[in-house]
Structure 1
Amino acid sequence: MTPSASHLLQLAREALDIEAAALHGLKSRLDDRFVRAVQMMLAVQGRVVVTGMGKSGHIGRKIAATLASTGTPALFVHPAEASHGDLGMIQVIDVVLAISNSGESDELVAILPVLKRQGVPLIAMTGGLHSTLACHADVVLDSSVEKEACPLNLAPTASTTAQLALGDALAVALLDARGFKPEDFARSHPGGALGRRLLTHVGDVMRSGPQVPRVGPEAGFSELMREMSDKGLGASAVVDPDGRPLGVFTDGDLRRLIEKGIDLRALKAGDVMHPGPRTIRRDALAVEAAEMMEQYRITSILVVDEAGVLCGALNSNDLMRAKVI
């Protein structure tokens, strides 16, 4: 028999209520043990080694990944594989974060005496506060829940949510303590949108060399038009003999001149340019160029080097191709 829509929605809401209650309970139990765990992870000379079996292991992999991407070197070691050689991955300079709701997972319990003999600091994240895992740990983080969201109270649901949230809390506390910044996050996420925004510089995406339209102020109007047409930027820089931008002339400027009915044939680039053009340094972030274009409602911008000499140009299409915007 197919459950009714109302029954399905009721089950879903009850599951979310149970998991929300588990997180509220977790919050109320945070104490000095959490602070000690953070301090141990901050002081470690090696890595945070996360381990756990079953669903706790899945959560452990995510926690290790979150720690690693937020400035705390971490890796996941499967406890069953640890008993068959992977214990060699854990050094005395590391700290182990072991996750188990019961604290009695056979594969995890089997490696605890070895870790203690090696003198590896151990943080337990468990709901079994009197379990074998808890008894071996230097610090115990209480991740216990009143009940699972599973109607049978069997499948790990609320307990794994609590573990995941507690892992996130550790990561957040650690990244703040390390002074971790968006730029640091971007360096470990170069393929993501944030990485592109914070790691891509103007010099990486700009047009350079012969691709940059430029004329001198004495250039005739026809020469100016040819330069704009050949380079396809929709604008041309007007530069002094040293290559420093004096002004810029754009397609929009051309339309406005035509609308005024001005005879363009006798004009020179210096007569029609817009003086004091917006420029950006080539070592600036590309996202800064995008922000300048938006702020001043322009579609292209000139790029200068440290001496203020024109060295490039880019427009909004260049930034879109680079996935900066």
Structure 2
Amino acid sequence: MPSAPMPTALFAMDPVHLPELFPPSVLARLRELVRIDPELVVQDFTDPAAAAALAGAEILITGWGCPRVDDDVLAAAPRLRRVLHAAGSVRSLLGEAVWERGITVSSAVHANALPVAEYALAAILLAGKDAFALRERFRAEAVYPAPGDYAHVGNLGRRLGVIGASRVGRRLLELLRPFDFSVSLYDPYVGPAEAAALGAVPLPLDELLRSSDIVSLHAPDIPETYRMLDRERLALIPHGGVLVNTSRGALVDHDALTDELVSGRLGAILDVTEPEPLPRSSPLYRLPNVFLTPHIAGSLGNELERLGGTVVEELAREAAGLPPAHEVRHADLARAA
């Protein structure tokens, strides 16, 4: 019995990402599963070459820089049945018509969660050691602090509050298991039994903030979470507390946070801000109690290979007659990142 012909796929993303998402070994595996031209990477669906390829595409492999897949794109792609996103959120990428037509959507958001959780874990461990402030002091004075200056330092029993049992939040909770933190969790969709299974004590948001030395933010950027950490809630974090944000800057009232940081009452480890990047005049670039990075927590460099590998794994599952492992459902978009 002859085997079924391989489906036809098309790349749609900024081509600068393609070599890292699909290095030679991953690209070779991909080409064993689909017919695809790696030289054609679409950035504009109205381009004549793209339009011709789109007409025959059954699978769209998307990534950062992909144009929005709207009604016009779907009209030009009558055979399209799957969108495999080699990145995180698809919320801003796909129009309603994708779901109405019953196209299967899959995302590599789970693979992208790992480096974010790893960054957050590293930030939390260093914050518990007060490493950033002590580094600044050591650089300025070139003298070891006196033993009594370390009384506030250490991760044994350190109170950690995790906001959001997102994929990143859950991966972080998994990574935290070997350590001796006292972990609490705020997520309105997680009940006590599930929180306990995740290794955390469920708390209301305000109580979590009051009782945490370090707060790590992992909630999605949706209307309900816009500036969820406003001036009043930031004031609940105890003096000397540290905010770690690897989620989105919009979840925090930036002006209120800046006031807390300038006063020295709180510290922060921020991979995301609002706006992004901050203007050069922002004091956050210069404050010794702020560790600011340029949105690097997510997959970068060789970590991108995981995302392309996820696409290949989903195609292999389809070839084996299995459902997608990382399907994105329309009903989940309202509370997804």
TM over 0.5: no
- TM-score for both structures, normalised by structure 1: 0.32
Choose 1 or 2 for highest CA Rg: 1
Between the two structures, name the one with larger relative contact order (CA 8 Å, sep ≥ 6): 2
- TM-score for both structures, normalised by structure 2: 0.31
Q: When you count helix as a share of all residues, which structure comes out higher?
A: 1
